[in-house]
Structure 1
Amino acid sequence: MAGGFAASALHAIIATAAMLVPIPAAFADEPPVPVVPAIKPIPVKVIVIANFEPGEDKGDVPGEFQLWAEREKLDEVIPIKGALHPLRRNGAGLYGMCWGSPDTMLGGVAEQLMSLLLDPRFDFSKTYWLFTGISGVDPQVASVGSAAWSRWVVQGDTLREFDDREVAKDWPYGLFAIGADAPNKLPANTESFAGFTDTGKLAMAVKLNQSLAQWAYDRTRDVVIPDSPELQKARAAWKGYPNAQKPPFVLMGETLGALRYWHGPGRTQWARDWVKLWTGGKGRFAMTNMESQSLAGAMAIAAKQGLVDPARVLVLRTGSNPSMPPPGQSAVDSVANEGAGQVAAYEANYRVGAPVVQELLAHWNSYKDQVPGSDPR
């Protein structure tokens, strides 16, 4: 009883003191916050997300988004607070957006995506997402200009790093998982990372809807990606790498995202090992870029909040340059050697992605409630 009485008395004192505290004039003079009437959000069917455009979305030097904006006639412009580029759409119900520009150095992509996801004007609960862009391509797996549908997006930022010249002699490099004691080992406590599990946690490897990825690949595996004399000349240098010598083609392969722009045979081997480690040996490294991991993380958060359906996310990356130099050339000499590969990768983004987007829109009544590639039962 004594304790209960003391608590009641304390509550009374606090309440009395609160009534005696004057309201600051700055707040007392403010008008009441108006009640915003509820609006019915627009259901978005399909949206294409690109990462980099050197100038405007249309009418100048193309980047990752311009071919989509022009060829799909994404003419309606919808400004989004917190995003550098506007949201665009066409009469068929296709939406598209680009994040980066030269002054941002590809930064803030996840923040801009979240600005879009939280915009009350739109309903993304049944939206199909196509995240696309150019990447470095592993020459063991594919050639420049090739396009890879991803089954996993692997994060390459959260790790321990030592100078390769200062590590143990039996280590292949100085990059390894936090919680592990050497490269190519999982942490002792894998629950902290989620790794390749299907728990929906923010993970080192986000597992996409692999049935949907397979469906997209099956629809586009025979798409012809334009070749060029410049690409053919560059491919001739890849002796001993048969996939790097092929004309551009469509494949299935994983995406590794890391904020560091790395290059060279040593780091390419790390990427192969890292993707294999965090996908339980099921994934194959194909493409590397600087933003996929951030966007995958933002989508994972949005999925936990019920804003998006993670089973409707597609990732398509195209090779603009090899992730390492050809035989006989140094990594330093080849690091910025994109040239014709960049233009080819822009073209492949659209050529391979467009049939999937158009199919989803043309048969929306079928795909609205049934994700393609999944078992109707």
Structure 2
Amino acid sequence: MELLRFLLTVFLQYSLIPIVSAFPSPLSSRDDEVFAPKVMIISMWSPEAKIWHDRLPDSKLGNLSSKTIHAPGLSMLFPCATCTEDGSICHLTIGEGEINSAASLMALMLSPKFDFRNTYFLIAGIAGVNPKYGTLGSVAIARYSVQVALQYEIDTRSLPPNWPTGYISYGRNQPHEYPFITYGTEVFELNAQLQDTAYKLASKAALADENEPKEYRALYRHMGESYKSASQPPSVIKCDTATSDVYYSGSRLSESFENTTKVWTNGTGLYCMSAQEDNAVLEVLVRPLQTVNLNPTDLQGSNFDRPPPEYTDLDHLTAAKQNGFSIAIVNIFNAGIEIVKGIIEEWDDRFKNGIRAENYIGDIFGSLGGEPDFGFGSLTRGECIAPDSKGSEMADREMNRRRILTQKSLRKI
């Protein structure tokens, strides 16, 4: 399976993950129609889904409403997946937030009506954008996805005045340190070669823009050279995404999570997008697989994560009219369709057998094999976890590592 991650918020983010799956045969009976799509498009809510259903026919690649497939466990709001007539492109809306997205996607992955062993997933949604690296309507292709809010939190009003943030990594006593206690979903690294491929394909797109977001972008011109990207037209960029169920906004929180991204990726990650579902989606894709190649994530920006000088954090969130939503939704399709077309048109020559990664691929534990280039090293000693594993050896290793690193290992505090 290949996963392509695409999020939109005034910013486009694509996540590409090539995956070799360990799924059993999806055939449940000879009469069942089994779908083995080349591309599976994932949306989080209705506006993101509608653009694909409305505009895919214009691409001559088919109509996403030609086939409707129900699978138990999908969202009550979005109970069916849909596919084109030939089954080469399918679509599902998984719901918003980490819980909804994980539950729906796991139901899809375990459905006997699908065979995803040679599928690229394109997760296409809106996201918040860091004005240091992008702007409203931009498209971001990510290598890292970081679950930045998986930390202790203390109200900053209860902290010493010199503390930069109320977020503290698990097992630590102060901000901006690597967590001693980890859950396994903190960081995912994706296929850098697939990131490059998605970037080149998405860069073919003519990105939409409008006068209203141009006016809001102009307010960032007074913030100096480091914020130059904010006032520029939408573009395709390479940078990384932060996952948080909390829809955060403001300079202090954004800067805190920017630092978290850098620390948790050992100085490699570059936070430019914020979303609510990425790490949940990636964990689901890792769970059923023997081996997986996690490839880049793509997001589209619909709103800035911090205000320009003329606005307070509160006004920026609740009163300011950034007007990035419309172009972000449009650019989900404009950039996404270039990736979809590239995969379909070059299937036999380039995509059918996957795009081999040259970097580490996977989570913080090393579940898929290899040695993470972030964190405290692999729990699996470089081996992929066996799909038929029945013991608790990995849990024992993880607890032993906690004991070595911190006295808080059995208390969490």
Where on the TM-score scale, by shorter chain, does this alignment land: which range? Answer: 0.7 to 0.9
- 2:198 and 2:321 map into 1 onto residues whose CA distance is 27
Pair 1:134–1:124, CA change in 2 (3 A): same
Contact 2:97–2:277 (8 Å) recurs in 1: no
Deviation at 1:329, TM superposition (A): 0.7
- 2:127 and 2:143 map into 1 onto residues whose CA distance is 16
- The one-letter amino acid of 2:159's match is V
- The one-letter amino acid of 1:49's match is I
- 2:97 and 2:269 map into 1 onto residues whose CA distance is 29
- 2:347 and 2:235 map into 1 onto residues whose CA distance is 28
- The one-letter amino acid of 1:157's match is A
Counterpart mapping for 1:1-377 below 5 A: 37=29, 41-53=34-46, 63-72=47-56, 73-75=63-65, 76-84=67-75, 85=78, 86-91=80-85, 93-100=88-95, 107-188=99-180, 192=182, 202-239=184-221, 240=223, 241-303=227-289, 306=290, 310-311=292-293, 313-336=295-318, 337=320, 340-372=323-355, 374=357
Deviation at 1:374, TM superposition (A): 4.9
- 1:373 and 1:296 map into 2 onto residues whose CA distance is 18
Contact 2:204–2:338 (8 Å) recurs in 1: no
Aligned residue for 2:90, secondary structure, equals: strand
Contact 1:214–1:373 (8 Å) recurs in 2: no
Length-normalised TM-score, structure 1:
0.78
Aligned residue for 1:95, secondary structure, equals: strand
- The one-letter amino acid of 1:233's match is E
Pair 1:188–1:105, CA change in 2 (3 A): closer
Pair 1:312–1:289, CA change in 2 (3 A): closer
Pair 1:322–1:159, CA change in 2 (3 A): same
Aligned residue for 1:133, secondary structure, equals: coil
Aligned residue for 1:352, secondary structure, equals: helix
- 2:36 and 2:342 map into 1 onto residues whose CA distance is 18
Query: Which residue does the alignment assign to 2:363?
Result: none
Greater RCO, CA 8 A, separation 6+:
2
- 1:183 and 1:41 map into 2 onto residues whose CA distance is 49
Aligned residue for 2:310, secondary structure, equals: coil
Aligned residue for 1:271, secondary structure, equals: helix
Deviation at 1:278, TM superposition (A): 1.3
Deviation at 1:204, TM superposition (A): 0.8
- 1:222 and 1:358 map into 2 onto residues whose CA distance is 11
Deviation at 1:106, TM superposition (A): 7.5
Pair 1:105–1:369, CA change in 2 (3 A): closer
Deviation at 1:68, TM superposition (A): 1.1
Aligned residue for 2:288, secondary structure, equals: helix
Instruction: Indicate the percent of aligned positions where both proteins have the same amino acid.
Output: 25
Query: Which residue does the alignment assign to 1:7?
Result: none
What do the CA deviations read for 1:15-66 (whole angstroms, capped 9, x no partner)?
xxxxxxxxxxxxxxxxxxxxx757684322111111111xxxxxxxxx1111
- 1:367 and 1:349 map into 2 onto residues whose CA distance is 23
What do the CA deviations read for 1:58-79 (whole angstroms, capped 9, x no partner)?
xxxxx11111122222012212
CA RMSD of aligned residues (A): 2.2
Contact 2:137–2:331 (8 Å) recurs in 1: yes
Pair 1:136–1:354, CA change in 2 (3 A): same
Contact 1:47–1:94 (8 Å) recurs in 2: yes
Length-normalised TM-score, structure 2:
0.71
- 2:324 and 2:208 map into 1 onto residues whose CA distance is 11
- 1:312 and 1:169 map into 2 onto residues whose CA distance is 41
- 2:240 and 2:210 map into 1 onto residues whose CA distance is 26
- The one-letter amino acid of 2:37's match is V
Deviation at 1:105, TM superposition (A): 7.0
Deviation at 1:223, TM superposition (A): 2.5
Pair 1:105–1:355, CA change in 2 (3 A): closer
Q: Which runs of no fewer than 5 residues in structure 2 stay unpaired?
A: 1-27, 57-62, 359-413
Deviation at 1:147, TM superposition (A): 0.8
Aligned residue for 2:125, secondary structure, equals: strand
Deviation at 1:315, TM superposition (A): 2.5
Deviation at 1:218, TM superposition (A): 1.8
Contact 2:143–2:192 (8 Å) recurs in 1: yes
Pair 1:143–1:295, CA change in 2 (3 A): same
